[in-house]
Amino acid sequence: MSVEEVRKWLENLCTDLMRYDVKVFDEAKNFLCTTASHIYSFTIPLIVKYRNLDHLKRDYHILFSARVFIKVDFRKTLDKEMTSEDIEDLLKCFTYVYSPNEYKEKMIEVGNEIGHALRIAIERVTWRKQLEE
């Protein structure tokens, strides 16, 4: 798979996320950021202690999903479209971590992670609304 295909996928993914309701979007972003920071707060000490960078990649799809949300959030808050620099930033992160033969599998994993976060967010937002009523 080529870098161009990853770029196209990222553009579509961000466009799609731009359409979500702010409350659902925020909830999903917070869920992903919390999960990612939770994982890395105990992975990083192990990596530093054993000087083994291999584990760093293992859960990066979660952290990357969080970055997609962070980038989209920034533009969404400003009520602006994503810029080519935003996409380049995401593309750089993705292609620095994964090799071309991993692209497809990781794109699926990121998609699944984002889908999962959005489903949880919708459940939470609905639940809160019910509580308020």
Partner 1 sequence: MEVEDVRKWLEDLLRNLMGYDTHVLYEARLHLVGVVADLYTHHIPLAIKYKDMTLLKAHYELLFASYLFDQAYTYKTLKKEIPKDVIGLLVEYFTSVYSPKEYQDKMIKVGNEIENALKEAIEYIAWKKQFKG
- Give the helix ranges, DSSP H, for 51-102: 55-58, 60-78, 84-97
Among 14, 44, 2, residue whose Cα is nearest residue 110: 14
In terms of residues, how long is the chain? 133
Closest distance between partner 1 and the C-beta of residue 32, in Å?
7
Query: Which stretches of the chain bind partner 1, using CB under 8 A?
Result: 29-30, 32-34, 36-38, 40-42, 44-49, 51, 53, 56-57, 60, 63-64, 66-67, 70, 92-94, 96-97
Q: Report the nearest approach of partner 1 to the CB of residue 112 (Å).
A: 18
Q: What is the closest distance, in whole angstroms, from the C-beta atom of residue 69 to partner 1 in the complex?
A: 9
Closer CB to partner 1, residue 2 or residue 99? 99
Question: Using alpha carbons only, how large is the chain's radius of gyration in Å?
Answer: 16
